[in-house]
């Protein structure tokens, strides 16, 4: 390579990236490293050029004696370098940088060719013994071709940077992927500012593998099974009836079935009973409670900012929307375009909770487009296409939202987040959402759109229309993915609000088909003829998912699917939510719950908001504290991640020695007392307890052990409490399976 051929932007910058110099952990850090700072992942070549050529008066790069440049001495470890050896003296990287320095560190001509596209092959590959290219078990060469503005192209395979999503494979300097362990990885291929994801599956050699060929119930199964077959994974068997009714009732209503409901279902001999159960659950009032709760989490329905009345209005409106089958696109339109009095127009509370333009733009992006824009506030998003320009143009869209505060009876006059009283959300004539780099508000744009909004256009009504347009694929996919995750426990894109090229769906065809079903009523995207399947019908989408064999698979794993976590080959075991655990205990024991400020008997899943923080010390009671301890979110963020299903020591202490559960077990007149005094035999009592708590009959050994325990006990009521405690603390009660 001669000096004349070297482009600063296309070659030197590529070497800095390839060698890892500009990573956030190294010199790309906002504070640099060792006094040397360049732009994160090379996003700003102009600034980097100045740094490399001018700072330190050229000590960093020395044209007269190029080998003495710090830029070469340090990364080749001829001088101590905290970042270690990045390349050797005889490497391409060294020679290119040396040549560039020796020729006087020229900048590119203004008409130099610019990168316009990166073409990477393959985009998806399943590697097994038949397809692998070499004798090593799993190997795949990746090829990266850069397309430039002048129409020319170049093989940049050795210049591209390769990052692997999971440490089960490695990629060589020149793009050869070697898998170490069976599994799936995403390899991010990056050259300059373009990046492309390659999905690679390392399929284990299984000479005895025989595809079990389960019968698909609908298109969901066809697409899931087609992927599973490719990776030599057999799905688990379909779960039994008792497991199914417990699972589907908890998933749709947030409650387990009662003992009677469950026994009736299990003994029902009719075919199609699962489908019939799904239909009936979808029309239960608890379904609307449960879905309103999920959406209230996301829309920040909490008392301090919305006040008690606002919380009840907004939550009530959401509950109504789910009870009356409001199409999801209409729901979202009303939310994002919502304005007016927060007492008169419930969805106006959405913006009441989001007080600044960028809180609004980040929330709408995350909730309805599945993008996390926060990174691009300070620098171009490292793993996505979003630039700082995009961030601030999108933010401008929300700059005109303002509030007329009719009254504020807040108790803490120092607290700017507390509002108690009516407000009117409205659009003012003009607003500010400055991009700090230019100290100006940018022209508003829909995210990713090329053209600016017309100044006279109502930005929120425009947004509502643009967002929910049936041809805005991202919106439909986001909603479909969210709904899938709400019942399956994991998104097809996961995390569900992190859609990006570098976080591809585990099953793209499935996601597309589900989105089509949601938006058009058919999985192929052709409009449906059935009236109830037209357009953004939540129940219709749920019906398809829940009737699939995939949803109904057991959590019991088999030899081939024990490692699978992303392809839905078995049910995921996970802890139930705070509300599910508390409501299930309350239902089984027949002891109503008491939450501060609500009449006795309100279920946890029916609580409209989160009480204002300042009240906590005084008025919070055991039940409120239980919910917080088990992960009910404070609703201060527009992210599912705020809800926690972690287990903590505090939780097990609450269950073992805490006051709430023990008090519910000993409450006078609870269902344990009824059982103890019912005149039933020990065996009948134990059996009834099992159905009440974990929706099944006791096994023979369980029955004989617990009956013996009951018979030998000095205090029968206490013994019944102890058995009930064992049931409420069993895996089957606490975990969804």
Partner 1 sequence: MKNIMWNGSGLIPRRKALQIGGTGMFGLTLPRLMRAAERTEAKPGRAKSVIFLYQFGGPSHLDTFDPKPIAPAGVRSHYGVIDTSAPGIQICDQLPKTAQVMNDVTLIRTVHHTMKNHNPAAYYALTGHAPPLDDIRLRDSQDLFPAYGSVVDQLAPNINGMPTFVAFPHVMRDGEITPGQHASFLGKGHDPLLVTSDPNDRRFSLPELSLPSGLTAERLHDRREIQQLINRQVNQLEQSPAARGLDAYYEKTLGMLNSSKVRDAFNLAAEPQSVRDKYGRTTYGQSCLLARRLVESGVKFVNVYFSSNIGGRRNEGGWDTHGFDNTRMYPILSEYQLPMTDQTLPTLITDLKERGMFDDTLIVWMGEFGRTPRINDNISRDHWPQCYTALLAGGGAKRGFVYGTSDKQAAYPDKDPVQLDDLMATVFALMGIDPQTELHDKLNRPILVSAGRVVTGVMA
Q: Which of residues 284-343 bind partner 1 (CB under 8 A)?
A: none
> Which window, 181-189, 206-214, 526-534, 580-588, contacts partner 1 (CB under 8 A)?
181-189
> Applying CB under 8 A, which of residues 573, 601, 619, 708 lies at the interface with partner 1?
573
Residue 648 as a binder of partner 1 (CB under 8 A): the answer is: yes
DSSP state letter for 131:
T
Residue 651 as a binder of partner 1 (CB under 8 A): the answer is: yes
Query: Smallest distance from the beta carbon of 399 to partner 1, in angstroms?
Result: 18
In this complex, which beta carbon is closest to partner 1, that of residue 604 or of residue 727? Answer: 727
Residue 359 as a binder of partner 1 (CB under 8 A): the answer is: no
Please state the φ and ψ torsions of residue 238, each to the nearest 5 degrees.
-70, 140
Query: Smallest distance from the beta carbon of 374 to partner 1, in angstroms?
Result: 6
In this complex, which beta carbon is closest to partner 1, that of residue 5 or of residue 701? Answer: 701
Bridge partner list, 197: 188
> Applying CB under 8 A, which of residues 48, 99, 184, 420 lies at the interface with partner 1?
184
Query: Smallest distance from the beta carbon of 607 to partner 1, in angstroms?
Result: 20
In this complex, which beta carbon is closest to partner 1, that of residue 111 or of residue 646? Answer: 646
Residue 184 CA to residue 552 CA, distance in Å, equals 24
Question: DSSP letters along 240-271, please?
Answer: PHHHHHHHHHHHHHSSPPPHHHHHHHHH---T
Bridge partner list, 177: 140, 171
Question: DSSP letters along 296-349, please?
Answer: HHHTT--HHHHHHHHHHHHHHHHHHHHHTT--HHHHHHHHHT--EETTTSGGGH
Site residue total, partner 1 (CB under 8 A) = 83
Please identify which residue in the block is written with the tokens 């239960």.
284
Residue 4's CB: how many other CB atoms inside 10 A? 8
- Binding pattern to partner 1, positions 439-478, x when CB under 8 A? ----------------------------------------
Please state the φ and ψ torsions of residue 427, each to the nearest 5 degrees.
-100, 120
> Which window, 66-74, 274-282, 425-433, 660-668, contacts partner 1 (CB under 8 A)?
660-668
Q: Are 493 and 499 in contact (CB under 8 A)?
A: yes
Q: What is the CA radius of gyration of the chain?
A: 30
In this complex, which beta carbon is closest to partner 1, that of residue 596 or of residue 705? Answer: 705
Per-residue tokens: 702: 């369980």
Bridge partner list, 36: 33
Query: Smallest distance from the beta carbon of 413 to partner 1, in angstroms?
Result: 10
User: How do 176-179 and 139-141 pair as beta strands?
Assistant: antiparallel
Query: Smallest distance from the beta carbon of 332 to partner 1, in angstroms?
Result: 22
Query: Smallest distance from the beta carbon of 644 to partner 1, in angstroms?
Result: 6
In this complex, which beta carbon is closest to partner 1, that of residue 150 or of residue 415? Answer: 415
Nearest to 601 by CA among 609, 593, 613: 593
> Applying CB under 8 A, which of residues 54, 59, 264, 417 lies at the interface with partner 1?
417
Query: Smallest distance from the beta carbon of 294 to partner 1, in angstroms?
Result: 17
Residue 410 CA to residue 415 CA, distance in Å, equals 8
| 716 CB-near residues (< 8 Å, 6+ apart) | 676, 710
Site for partner 1 in 668-727 (CB under 8 A): 694, 699, 701-702, 705-706, 709, 718, 722-723, 725-727
| 686 CB-near residues (< 8 Å, 6+ apart) | 698, 702, 703, 706, 707, 710, 723
Residue 384 CA to residue 371 CA, distance in Å, equals 9
Query: Smallest distance from the beta carbon of 146 to partner 1, in angstroms?
Result: 28
Residue 730 CA to residue 735 CA, distance in Å, equals 8
Site for partner 1 in 140-169 (CB under 8 A): 165-168
Residue 634 as a binder of partner 1 (CB under 8 A): the answer is: yes
Residue 577 CA to residue 486 CA, distance in Å, equals 12
In this complex, which beta carbon is closest to partner 1, that of residue 165 or of residue 461? Answer: 165
Site for partner 1 in 31-50 (CB under 8 A): 31
Residue 617 CA to residue 613 CA, distance in Å, equals 8
Give Dmax (Cα) for the chain: 101
Per-residue tokens: 239: 């779960």
> Applying CB under 8 A, which of residues 556, 619, 677, 708 lies at the interface with partner 1?
556
Site for partner 1 in 248-277 (CB under 8 A): none
In this complex, which beta carbon is closest to partner 1, that of residue 10 or of residue 706? Answer: 706
Residue 230 as a binder of partner 1 (CB under 8 A): the answer is: no
Query: Smallest distance from the beta carbon of 167 to partner 1, in angstroms?
Result: 5
Residue 619 as a binder of partner 1 (CB under 8 A): the answer is: no
| 562 CB-near residues (< 8 Å, 6+ apart) | none
Residue 545 as a binder of partner 1 (CB under 8 A): the answer is: no
> Applying CB under 8 A, which of residues 308, 614, 680, 716 lies at the interface with partner 1?
614
Query: Smallest distance from the beta carbon of 708 to partner 1, in angstroms?
Result: 11
> Applying CB under 8 A, which of residues 6, 200, 433, 639 lies at the interface with partner 1?
639
Query: Smallest distance from the beta carbon of 657 to partner 1, in angstroms?
Result: 5
Query: Smallest distance from the beta carbon of 721 to partner 1, in angstroms?
Result: 8
* Residue 441 parent element (H or E): strand 440-441
> Applying CB under 8 A, which of residues 652, 677, 678, 708 lies at the interface with partner 1?
652
Query: Smallest distance from the beta carbon of 95 to partner 1, in angstroms?
Result: 32
Residue 682's CB: how many other CB atoms inside 10 A? 18
In this complex, which beta carbon is closest to partner 1, that of residue 235 or of residue 631? Answer: 631
Nearest to 290 by CA among 656, 620, 580, 664: 580
> Applying CB under 8 A, which of residues 46, 88, 226, 374 lies at the interface with partner 1?
374
* Residue 390 parent element (H or E): helix 388-396
> Applying CB under 8 A, which of residues 662, 680, 683, 716 lies at the interface with partner 1?
662
Query: Smallest distance from the beta carbon of 81 to partner 1, in angstroms?
Result: 15
- Binding pattern to partner 1, positions 480-499, x when CB under 8 A? ---------------x--x-
Residue 300 CA to residue 296 CA, distance in Å, equals 6
Residue 19's CB: how many other CB atoms inside 10 A? 20
């Amino acid at each position: 390579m001669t000096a004349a051929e070297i482009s600063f932007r296309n070659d030197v910058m590529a070497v800095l990236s390839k060698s890892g110099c500009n990573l956030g952990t190294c010199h790309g850090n906002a504070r640099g490293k060792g006094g040397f700072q360049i732009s994160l992942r090379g996003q700003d070549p102009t600034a980097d050029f100045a740094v490399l050529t001018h700072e330190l008066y050229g000590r960093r790069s020395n044209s007269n004696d190029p080998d003495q440049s710090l830029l070469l001495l340090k990364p080749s470890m001829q001088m101590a370098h905290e970042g270690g050896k990045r390349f050797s003296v005889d490497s391409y990287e060294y020679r290119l940088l040396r040549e560039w320095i020796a020729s006087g560190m020229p900048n590119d001509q203004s008409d130099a060719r610019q990168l316009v596209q990166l073409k990477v092959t393959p985009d998806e590959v399943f590697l097994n013994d038949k397809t692998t290219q070499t004798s090593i078990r799993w190997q795949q060469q990746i090829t990266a071709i850069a397309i430039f503005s002048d129409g020319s192209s170049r093989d940049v395979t050795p210049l591209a940077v390769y990052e692997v999503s999971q440490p089960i494979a490695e990629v060589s300097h020149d793009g050869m992927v070697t898998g170490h362990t069976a599994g799936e990885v995403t390899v991010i291929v990056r050259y300059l500012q373009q990046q492309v994801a390659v999905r690679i599956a390392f399929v284990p050699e299984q000479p005895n593998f025989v595809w079990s060929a389960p019968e698909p119930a609908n298109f969901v199964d066809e697409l899931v099974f087609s992927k599973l077959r490719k990776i030599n994974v057999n799905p688990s068997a379909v779960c039994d009836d008792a497991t199914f009714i417990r699972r589907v009732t908890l998933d749709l209503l947030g409650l387990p079935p009662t003992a009677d409901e469950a026994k009736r279902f299990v003994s029902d001999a009719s075919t199609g009973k699962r489908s019939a159960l799904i239909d009936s659950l979808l029309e239960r009032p608890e379904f609307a409670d449960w879905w309103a709760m999920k959406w209230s989490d996301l829309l920040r329905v909490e008392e301090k900012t919305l006040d008690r009345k606002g919380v009840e209005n907004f939550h009530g409106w959401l509950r109504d929307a789910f009870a009356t089958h409001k199409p999801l696109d209409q729901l979202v339109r009303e939310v994002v375009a919502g304005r007016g009095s927060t007492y008169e127009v419930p969805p106006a509370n959405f913006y009441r909770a989001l007080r600044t333009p960028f809180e609004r733009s980040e929330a709408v992006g995350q909730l309805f487009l599945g993008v996390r824009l926060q990174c691009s506030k300070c620098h171009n998003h490292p793993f996505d296409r979003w630039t700082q320009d995009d961030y601030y143009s999108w933010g401008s869209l929300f700059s005109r939202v303002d509030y007329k505060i009719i009254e504020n009876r807040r108790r803490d006059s120092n607290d700017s987040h507390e509002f108690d009283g009516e407000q009117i959300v409205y659009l003012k004539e003009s607003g500010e959402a400055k991009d700090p780099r230019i100290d100006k508000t940018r022209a508003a744009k829909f995210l990713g759109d090329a053209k600016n909004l017309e100044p006279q256009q109502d930005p929120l009504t425009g947004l509502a229309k643009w967002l929910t347009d049936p041809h805005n694929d991202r919106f439909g996919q986001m909603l479909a993915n969210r709904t899938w995750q709400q019942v399956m426990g994991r998104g097809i894109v996961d995390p569900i609000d992190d859609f990006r090229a570098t976080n591809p769906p585990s099953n793209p065809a499935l996601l597309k088909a589900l989105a089509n079903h949601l938006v058009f009523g058919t999985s192929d995207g052709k409009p449906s003829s059935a009236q109830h399947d037209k357009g953004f019908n939540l129940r219709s989408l749920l019906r398809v998912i829940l009737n699939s064999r995939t949803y109904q698979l057991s959590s019991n794993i088999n030899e081939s699917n024990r490692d699978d976590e992303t392809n839905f080959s078995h049910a995921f075991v996970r802890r139930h939510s705070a509300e599910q655990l508390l409501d299930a205990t309350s239902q089984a024991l027949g002891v109503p719950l008491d939450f501060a400020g609500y009449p006795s008997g309100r279920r946890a899943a029916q609580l409209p908001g989160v009480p204002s923080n300042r009240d906590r010390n005084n008025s919070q009671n055991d039940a409120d504290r239980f919910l917080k301890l088990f992960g009910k979110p404070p609703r201060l963020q527009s992210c599912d991640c705020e809800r926690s299903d972690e287990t903590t020591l505090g939780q097990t202490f609450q269950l073992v020695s805490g006051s709430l559960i023990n008090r519910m077990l000993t409450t006078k007149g609870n269902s344990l007392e009824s059982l103890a005094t019912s005149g039933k035999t020990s065996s009948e009592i134990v059996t009834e307890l099992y159905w009440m708590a974990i929706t099944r009959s006791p096994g023979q050994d369980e029955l004989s052990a617990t009956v013996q325990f009951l018979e030998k006990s000095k205090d029968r009521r206490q013994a019944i409490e102890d058995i009930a405690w064992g049931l409420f603390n069993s895996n089957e009660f606490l975990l969804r399976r």
